[in-house]
Chain A
Amino acid sequence: MILLTLSLVLGVAGAQRLRVTRVPRFVVDSLHRTASLLAVTFLLVHILTAVLDSYASISLTDAIIPFVGSYRPLWLGLGATAFDLLIAITITSLARLSLGLRVWRAVHWLAYACWPIALVHALGTGTDVPSTWMLAIGGACLLAVLGAVGARAFAERQRHPRSARAAVATAIGFTVALALWLPGGPLGPQWARRSGTPAPLLHSAAGRLAADHAVEPA
């Protein structure tokens, strides 16, 4: 999540031609590419460990095709969606010279969709969401992205006023929806059960699930 955030912020910095003393723009571009590729790598590790860890019975298919799994299907499916988007973005970026600017750009804009989907996935499937450090990291990432999107929209407000307004509206709407959802959702009682964790796993006494608020079934 951190790497994705970093990648997005660097991408916006490049597009906005941000000039930092002694940091050439091709370095900003290079950092963006590096952060993105690192994000993909960590993501692959994340997926592999989730799949290999037989505890939650997540198959490889579940990781790529959204919403077909048995473990928290909606929230996991979002992760698969984000993964698919990221793969598309990565492949088109690697093949940018052959594909041409228009195709590359059309797919690359999906990054703005990929990030919030990844965040909601993390919040929905994460086992440590209510903990302070998770919330702090998530909050910081959200602020960074809101800042980047805001800066981009502000800079483009004259050339593309409608898109800029839509972007700001969407960002604010997303944040508000998040704020409304979190207390009753992942931060609320029995989230593990409500999010679709299969019943056998709920009764696990190993405490790997966020069972802090789970109530023993009557």
Chain B
Amino acid sequence: MTRQLKVNPITCQAHGLCAELLPELIALDEWGYPIITDEPVPAALQTMAKRAVSVCPTLALTLSQRAPRSPPSRSP
């Protein structure tokens, strides 16, 4: 089962704990916000990914069950 990391950009407050735990998949931009890879989470990092999800102070990080579907539209 492929799992995908996603961050809710509205609730993310740039605490940065996720990037500390998972530097292989998450980098921080110059303002402290996460840049998350589009690749699915490799099996070896699944446990750490779950821990990153649990440690996020605002619960902004999620680990989805499958690769994300793009929604019908994000524009007006």
Contact = CB atoms under 8 A, between A and B. Distances in A.
B54 A26 contact: no
Interface residues of A, number: 11
A96 B54 CA distance: 8
Given A25-B20, A96-B59, A101 B11 contact: yes
B20 A15 contact: no
A29 B55 CA distance: 8
A17 B53 CA distance: 18
Contacts of B40: none
Contacts of B54: 96-97
B64 to A, nearest CB: 14
Given A96-B54, A97-B53, A29 B17 contact: yes
Interface of A is mostly: helix
A25 B17 contact: yes
Interface in A87-140: 96-97, 100-101
Nearest to A19: B16
Interface in A9-36: 14-15, 17, 24-26, 29
Interface residues of B, number: 12
A26 B59 contact: no
B20 A26 contact: yes
Contacts of B59: 96-97, 100-101
A127 to B, nearest CB: 40
B2 interface: no
Contacts of A15: 57
A100 B59 CA distance: 8
Given A25-B15, A25-B16, A101-B11, A14 B21 contact: no
B58 interface: yes
Q: Which residue, B11, B20, B58, has most C-beta atoms of chain A within 10 A?
A: B20
Q: Which of B20, B21, B59 has the most CB of A within 10 A?
A: B59
Closest 10 CB pairs of A and B: A24-B20, A26-B17, A101-B59, A26-B20, A25-B17, A26-B21, A26-B55, A29-B55, A25-B20, A97-B54
25 contacts: A14-B57, A15-B57, A17-B15, A24-B17, A24-B20, A25-B15, A25-B16, A25-B17, A25-B20, A26-B17, A26-B20, A26-B21, A26-B55, A29-B17, A29-B55, A29-B57, A96-B54, A96-B59, A97-B53, A97-B54, A97-B59, A100-B59, A101-B11, A101-B58, A101-B59
Interface of A: 14-15, 17, 24-26, 29, 96-97, 100-101
Given A25-B15, A25-B20, A26-B55, 9 more contacts: A15-B57, A24-B17, A26-B17, A29-B55, A96-B54, A97-B59, A100-B59, A101-B11, A101-B58
